């Protein structure tokens, strides 16, 4: 282990190297900013990462042919580069990304990470993102860590001994933050509908954004909720403080909030710092359906870009344009479905901001099916709850059209009739 400047540490990177970049709020901005300063000496350097926040300077057009980003999940900071060919998307379940490193399917040369300062025993914390990072550290030949006093010391499997780090680069900078505004009326209506499906004693998985926050905001009278989720944000804090989140009935890690990463405000990062309530674990464990299903009443709340009238969910692309990724949606939708009393929920506004229906007769050409029609149980919009499980295609279409935007319901009815013909008539189904 050597304590050096970023410039000195990054000299080890060679043309053709494959580099892992720490995820979400933990993206090591100081190392990335200094990496591009070596652009004149490098060619064909590949970067691999999940969703990252902050600047992604290696994606700029002037670095084409020098750096190429490979995203397991596309954030807004790399979306344009991927669309323009300076980056690529790797479709994979979030739970399986560590396997790509462990089995050397992707052989990493260097890992760039953020860590807390070493404690008295020499252990640093990976802070807000464990996800696939432990597997990347074990796979990479060289580990370069930005040591940052603003990285919270999270507990669980988030510790790495400083002896496993080749280069420590001291540089303090606040973590990337996000502040969620108040939910819109539409988002709050969706949140209220979803919250009505959450039972006391349920184990929750939710993503980020105003809809999950809207759900959490109306759970204040619930009892003994648990959290086992790939990520969480500020919305859980008030429920912990009110004693709503206790984890009392969880079968796995009872009494603990289990997560693989967090993203939110400084309040969230202060909350998770040295907090024994929080257990940070690798994503191949957290998102393992065999682990998820052991908890009771797993209620998985995920979103979508569009959904067709049979229940096929597109969550990663707008037609041919890649927008986000497979992520952990399928991991938790399936895990929830297998849980005793579990509920698999897709929650989305009925229409886009441009007025286009998100419930469609068929998905756009090129759209990817992230969650199949066989996996979805509930679809929730601001207009209500559609229950699809156990229903045939015609019944599903009728359920979904009921929660579509009223401006589109008549058209959807006509298109559904054209698709299913006489099967669609007045609840009498004759199969061809």
Residues 36-49 have pLDDT tens digits of 999 999 999 999 99
Output the pTM of the full model: 0.94
Task: Fill in the DSSP letter of residue 10.
Answer: G
Q: What is the pLDDT of residues 332-349, one digit of tens each?
A: 999 999 999 999 999 999
Nearest to 11, CA basis, from 45, 49, 50, 38: 38
- pLDDT at 70 > cutoff 90: yes
Supply the mean pLDDT for the chain. 95
Does the pLDDT at position 429 exceed 80? Answer: no
For the record, the structure tokens of 133 come out as 């990072």
Catalytic residue among 62, 83, 199, 230: 230
Q: What would the pLDDT profile of 226-241 be if each residue is shown by its tens digit? A: 999 999 999 999 999 9
State yes or no: is 415 an active-site residue. no
Please determine, for residue 311, whether its predicted confidence score (pLDDT) is greater than 60.
yes
Helix residue ranges per DSSP H, 273-350: 283-286, 289-292, 329-338
- Per-residue confidence at 427, pLDDT binned at 50, 70, 90? low
The sign of the dihedral angle between the CA atoms of 303, 306, 312, 314 is negative
User: What's the start-to-end Cα distance of the chain, in Å?
Assistant: 70
Torsion of CA 330, 335, 341, 343, to 10 degrees: -10
State the Cα–Cα distance between residues 417 and 45, nearest whole angstrom.
53
> What mean pLDDT comes out for the span 420-428?
68
């Amino acid at each position: 282990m050597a304590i050096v400047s970023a410039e000195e540490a990054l000299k080890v990177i060679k043309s053709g190297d494959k580099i892992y970049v720490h995820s979400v709020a933990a993206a090591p901005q100081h190392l990335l900013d200094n990496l591009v300063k070596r652009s004149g000496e490098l060619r064909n350097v590949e970067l691999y990462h999940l969703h990252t926040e902050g600047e992604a300077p290696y994606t700029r057009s002037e670095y084409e042919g020098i750096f190429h980003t490979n995203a397991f999940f596309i954030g807004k900071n790399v979306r344009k580069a991927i669309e323009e060919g300076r980056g690529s998307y790797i479709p994979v379940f979030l739970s399986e990304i560590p396997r790509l490193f462990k089995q050397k399917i992707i052989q990493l040369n260097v890992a760039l990470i953020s860590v807390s300062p070493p404690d008295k025993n020499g252990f640093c914390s990976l802070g807000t993102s464990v996800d696939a990072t432990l597997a990347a550290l074990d796979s990479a030949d060289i580990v370069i860590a930005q040591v940052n006093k603003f990285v919270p010391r999270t507990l669980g499997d988030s510790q790495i001994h400083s002896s496993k780090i080749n280069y420590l680069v001291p540089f303090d900078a606040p973590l990337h933050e996000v502040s969620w505004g108040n939910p819109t009326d539409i988002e709050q209506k969706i949140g209220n509908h979803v919250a009505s499906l959450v039972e006391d004693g349920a184990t929750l998985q939710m993503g980020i954004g105003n809809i999950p926050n809207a759900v959490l905001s109306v759970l204040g009278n619930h009892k003994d909720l648990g959290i086992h989720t790939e990520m969480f944000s500020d919305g859980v804090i008030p429920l912990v403080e009110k004693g709503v989140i206790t984890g009392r009935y969880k079968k796995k890690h009872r009494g603990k909030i289990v997560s693989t990463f967090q993203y939110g405000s400084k309040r969230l990062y202060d909350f998770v710092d040295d907090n024994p309530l929080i257990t940070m674990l690798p994503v191949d464990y957290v998102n393992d359906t065999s682990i998820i299903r052991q908890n009771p009443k797993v209620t998985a709340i995920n979103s979508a870009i569009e959904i067709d009238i049979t229940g096929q969910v597109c969550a990663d692309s707008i037609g041919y344009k890649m927008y986000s990724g497979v992520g952990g949606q399928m991991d938790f939708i399936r895990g929830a479905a297998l849980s005793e009393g579990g509920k698999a929920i897709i929650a989305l506004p009925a229409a886009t901001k441009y007025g286009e229906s998100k419930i469609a007769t068929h998905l756009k050409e090129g759209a990817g099916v992230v969650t199949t029609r066989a996996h979805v149980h509930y679809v929730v919009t601001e207009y209500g709850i559609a229950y699809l499980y156990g229903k045939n295609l015609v019944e599903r279409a009728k359920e979904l059209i009921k929660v579509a935007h009223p401006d589109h319901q008549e058209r959807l009815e006509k298109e559904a009739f054209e698709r299913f013909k006489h099967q669609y008539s007045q609840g009498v189904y004759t199969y061809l």
